[in-house]
Amino acid sequence: MTSVVQGFTKSLAMTVLSEIGDKTFFAAAILAMRHPRRLVLSGCLAALIVMTILSAAVGWAAPNLISRAWTHHITTILFFGFGLWSLWDGFNDKGEAEELAEVEAKLDADWKANTGTAKAGSKDSDEFKKQRRTFLSQFFSPILLKAFSITFFGEWGDKSQIATIGLAADENPFGVVIGGIVGQALCTTAAVIGGKSLASQISEKIVALSGGVLFIVFGIQSFLSTVE
């Protein structure tokens, strides 16, 4: 039980400090201003939950492929590496406004491209689409799928994903998954509800520095702990 709680708390803290002010956080905030919030929230959360489970599964399988001692040492190095990386990002931050503007510009370009394509064939196909529309197609709306894909591929290879793999290799995977999902839900809900106004007020520098310190603390704890 203690290992589950420890995995949960570490994963929750790491996720919150990694995701607040992240590009996917800004993307969720901007998408929620333009589309129904429930669809944006559903799509983003579904992507983050899938990513968390996949990452934890890889981390859980790692000790079965290589020795637990090696996975423990690799995890320790990852924590220190991500800590230094986050501190570097914090001290060399380009600013929240620029980061937010960059994400918004990418979404604007994507939205204009999709709108132009949709208008070309909308008149001829509207009636046909209504006839073929099923419950499944209504549930998996284009907005939900867009939010899912932007979030999923935005998180792929991100340091929070790799850190989750390392954490699951060293801690209880179940606790890591639950902590990660709760953390993702808190951050994404805040982004969707708060929108651009909340995103523009977040100090990404403070978040990056806090996350860097947290990663280094995890690294020190992992370095001092013994492999079971």
**pLDDT of 91:** 78
Assess if residue 127 is contained within a domain.
no
Query: What angle in degrees, to the nearest 10, is found between the helix axes of 68-91 and 159-170?
Result: 150
Maximum alpha-carbon separation in the chain: 67
In contact, 214 and 17? CB cutoff 8 Å: yes
Task: Name the residue range of residue 198's domain.
Answer: 7-107+137-224
80 contacts: CB under 8 Å, gap ≥ 6: 215, 216, 219
119 in any annotated domain? no
The token pair at 99 is 């980061």
Q: Is residue 62 part of a domain?
A: yes
Angle at CA of residue 29, ends 10 and 82, nearest 5°: 35
Classify residue 115: in a domain, yes or no.
Answer: no
Residues 187, 19 contacting (CB under 8 angstroms): yes
Q: What is the pLDDT along the chain (228 residues), one digit of tens a residue?
A: 667 888 899 889 888 887 776 777 878 887 888 788 888 889 999 999 999 999 999 888 877 777 777 777 887 888 888 788 878 877 776 555 555 566 666 656 665 555 554 444 444 444 444 444 555 555 567 888 888 888 888 778 777 788 888 888 888 889 999 999 999 899 888 888 876 666 566 666 777 777 778 778 878 877 887 655
Within-domain flag for 14: yes
Q: Is residue 95 part of a domain?
A: yes
Kindly list the distances between the CA atom of residue 17 and the CA atoms of 11, 83, 145, 148, 183, in Å, as whole numbers in the listed order.
10, 12, 26, 21, 9
Residue 121 lies in a domain: no
Angle between helices 204-224 and 68-91 (to 10 degrees): 150
118 occurs within a structural domain: no
For the chain, what is the domain count?
A: 1
